[in-house]
Amino acid sequence: MQYLDYSVWQRQWLESGERQRQLDYWTGQLGREHPLLELPSDRPRPAVQSHQGELYRFDLSDELAARVRAFNAEHGLTLFMTMTAALSLLLYRYSGQSDLRIGAPVANRIRPESEGLIGAFLNTQVLRCQLDGQMSVGQLLEQVRHTVIEGQSHQDLPFDHLVE
C-alpha cells in the first residue's frame, strides 16, 4: 500500500454513508454551540488573534511518574486520558466554564496497511468534557475515558469536514 492508495480509500470513504454517520456522531457529541474558552488575562483580547503561544516545559519526578502509571493501570486509563482530565479540570478552575472542548491530535492509522507508510495521516479530534462542582475526580476520569474510547471509533472524519 502507498499513500496514494490511502488517499483513494479516504475519498471513497468520504463519499460513502460512513462519513455522514460519523458527522452525525460528532454533531451529537459536540452540540451545535461551540463556546470560546475565556481564560483570565492581564490584557484585553486583541481584535485580531496572533495565535502565538508559549511553551512551558517541566519534568515529573520518577516517583510521581511511577505513581501515575500505577494509578492508570489500576483504573484502566491511559496517560492521555489522565492528562486530558487534568487539563479539563485546570481549564474549568481558571475559566469557570463547565462545558469544554479540547482538541487533540490522533495518528489516524486505523488501517493496518497504513502503519508502515510515510504520509500525513494526522487528524484533530475534539473531546468534550462537561464538569460541574459536584463531580468527583473519579467521575471525571470515567467520562473522559468513555469520550476518548468513543472518539477513537469515530476518528476517520477529517477535522475540516467537522468544522464546515
Cα–Cα distance for residue pair 133/86, rounded to 1 Å: 15
Task: Tell whether the model's pLDDT for residue 110 goes beyond 80.
Answer: no
For the chain, give every domain's residue range.
1-31+78-164
Residues 16-28 have pLDDT tens digits of 888 889 899 999 9
Counting beta carbons within 10 angstroms of the beta carbon of residue 126, is it exposed (0 to 12), middle (13 to 18) or buried (19 or more)?
A: middle
Q: What is the pLDDT of residue 123?
A: 87
CA torsion, ordered 27, 53, 84, 115, to nearest 10 deg:
80
Give the DSSP letter of residue 115. T
pLDDT at position 99? 95
Q: What is the pLDDT of residues 42-93, one digit of tens each?
A: 888 888 988 888 899 999 999 999 999 999 999 999 999 999 999 999 999 9
Q: Helix H segments across 16-98?
A: 17-30, 62-75, 79-95
The arithmetic mean of pLDDT across residues 90-102, rounded, is: 96
Q: How far is Cα 115 from Cα 109, in angstroms, rounded to an integer?
A: 6
pLDDT > 70? residue 114: no
Q: What pLDDT is recorded for position 11?
A: 84
Q: Residue 101 belongs to what H/E stretch?
A: strand 99-106
- Does residue 162 have a pLDDT over 80? yes
Average pLDDT, the chain: 89
Q: What is the pLDDT of residue 107?
A: 81
Across 104-120, average pLDDT = 74
The listed CATH number (3.30.559.30, 3.40.50.2300, 3.20.20.370, 3.30.930.10) that belongs to domain 1-31+78-164:
3.30.559.30
pTM comes to: 0.84
